[in-house]
Structure 1
């Protein structure tokens, strides 16, 4: 019941948006909007789990910023303005023409429509998002300081490999080169050579952006830690907790979270046009779904879910790695949103079940030990 109260604002906004959808397109608008909300929530759980890992390090003010300003960026920026900009750039058309195409609700399979132009830009979007997410996955797996492992038979060797600097960048670069040579094909607008150049440039841009944003975040965080070192030590002695990020360090982490959320949105925005070509319905449905994902992230942070279920973070990162690979593969092969989302959900559920079993084994092992300690103390007295 407490969990439902956490999402009460989302429920209220859902009712309002569905009412608007009814006025806009009758019961069809409600039905399509509801489908998109569910799709966004189900397929973005890995996003919430990973976001929670970073959001837990921010103070209460920046967590609220993530829920307010961040939601506006997610709803209007990624679900409305981003596709609009892509259509303008990819189709080499004016914003006015792109707006007319959007309002026409043309069939995305028909050349010249809004959805068709956006779908033609999929290879560049997939390369950009795939490289960004792949680096996030590799950096997590190669982290030599990570104490807990889930799939230890593969994660521990990867941690040892992580002692080699910039290995994740090398692997991502090689993967991008191979993908550009094997997965790219000509389109109605571009030749093979042009598409290879587009995919290479987009993937390289994703790598550069990840390095820039994550590097800036780490730099600001280290400066904040150095500046407040004495305070942090005192706080650690008194409470045993880590000081939450604020100021420039929190701002850079907030930017990192926004870019991360954007990369998760790429495939969902493109895939939504397979459900409906109406960008207004897409913005409303995916936007409300994005709000639930944000609230879910806050819920995971406030309830310490990542700490309670120790492998959940690992499952989310494995889901990210799978999503990154599938995004790049989707340049040539249509995998479908249900395949992409299903793999991610399966990995997270497996990690969640593994966490429950590990907690039960740990509790069973501590039970007899606790009993023996109590008996020994009684005998000693």
Structure 2
């Protein structure tokens, strides 16, 4: 299982490190290795969230996630995205932005760092919406029941998550965004308007992509329920309708989402991955300002996160350890707050990574205790969503 799931990531790691050593020497190899570890530590919670969504998709869209999605994650977010940010914020054409990134790394780092408030506001609000919609939704299983149960009751108020996110954005805009230190520490600049605009854009992106994918998912579920009811009626007239209905429902959920619902769910996955990559891309500048070293190191780390996502789905880990998704969403909430704070203040990536690891580790241990208490520690989950092998 481990070799089949992580095999390609290991092969690419060896090739990537060998290439780095050949082109940039031992120092370049070390930088790429450090960036890979940085990306993995910062994005572990991303793998848990991705697994929770990936298991809803059918085999075809799972393959798309593992092929096209990897290309988007590695080349799009770790190579193209920083250059695009430079082009937009510096108001230069993409060709000149590439030239700056390749030929003038110091200026490139300066331009990307100055764009950080907008990046942090967009990603922070997007991730905050994910956390709020999770924590304000009533669910059968609660990890921190003393907190989640009351919040779920409050969540019955329409658009409460939007209101809270907007308030958080306003607080950030009126506090940390009013005096953002310039790169190099030479004075400050007011980024209030930039932060407000980027934060609203992050919310719009979440509402549009998440709303459309949710709409098609609900539509598909309604169609399945209608088919199940029809089969149940037909089966009851013949004899044993309940058995037919059960078989139908089992087969439907095993197939997973397809068509428009799967497409927008895939887009939602990619936007989530993009939001998680923001802190990694910005944090990488503390290690190097060489764009190709950065892309290679972060790309290798992104491959392991994709492999970990597949591993979690194949093993049915989220079914066995039911609090993992809770821990991952709390980590998302913490990362959202950290991103908004970093608009002005620098927070070490070690702290950012440790917050996620500690929360997910606590959720895992709580799940183990729950399984032992219920006598389910060695039991198989009721249903597995198999990610297609051969990718």
Aligned to 1:270: 282
Residues 1:283 and 2:279 are matched in the alignment: no
* Residue of structure 2 equivalent to 1:303: 315
Aligned match of 1:165: 158
Deviation at 1:18, TM superposition (A): 1.4
Aligned partners of 1:132, 1:209: CA distance in 2, in Å? Answer: 8
Query: 1:129 corresponds to which residue?
Result: 123
Secondary structure of 1:224's partner?
A: helix
Report how far residue 130 of structure 1 moved: 0.3
Tell me the equivalent position of 1:33: 32
Range with bigger deviation, 93-102 or 63-72? 93-102
SS in 2 for 1:335: coil
Q: What is the TM-score with the length of structure 2 in the denominator?
A: 0.87
Could you say what the CA RMSD is over the residues aligned between the two structures, in angstroms? Answer: 2.2
What is the CA–CA distance in structure 2 between the aligned matches of 1:365 and 1:64, rounded to whole Å? 31
Deviation digits for residues 248-300 of structure 1 (CA, Å, limit 9, x no counterpart): 11111000000011000001001111111111011011111111101111111
Q: Is contact 2:228–2:248 with CA below 8 Å preserved after alignment?
A: no
1-side partners of 2:166 and 2:80: how far apart? 29
The gaps in structure 1 that reach 5 residues or longer are: 108-112, 367-381
Residue in structure 1 matched with residue 205 of structure 2 by the alignment: 209
| Structure 2 residue corresponding to 1:222, chosen from 218, 224, 230 | 218
Aligned to 2:99: 100
Aligned residue among 265, 270, 282 for 1:253: 265
Contact 2:182 2:189 in 1 (8 A): no
Q: 1:148 aligns with which of 130, 141, 150?
A: 141
CA contact (8 A) 2:5 2:310 kept: no
Pick closer, same or farther for the CA change 1:68–1:236 going to 2, 3 Å: farther
Give unmatched runs, 5+ long, in structure 2: 232-243, 379-391
Tell me how far 1:229 sits from its aligned partner. 3.5
SS in 2 for 1:44: helix
Q: Could you tell me which residue of structure 2 aligns to residue 333 of structure 1? A: 345
Asked whether the 8 Å contact 1:63–1:298 carries over to 2, the reply is no
Q: Is the 8 A contact 1:32 1:276 kept in 2?
A: yes
TM-score normalized with structure 1 length: 0.89
Q: Is the 8 A contact 1:132 1:263 kept in 2?
A: yes
Please state if 1:198 is matched with 2:194.
yes
What is the aligned residue count?
Answer: 359
Cα deviation code 1:138-193 (max 9, x no counterpart)? 0000112x111111111111101011010000000011111100111155599988
* Distance in 2 separating the partners of 1:365 and 1:141: 26
Is 2:180–2:343's contact at 8 Å kept on the other side of the alignment? no
Q: Partners of 1:250 and 1:37 in 2: how far apart?
A: 30
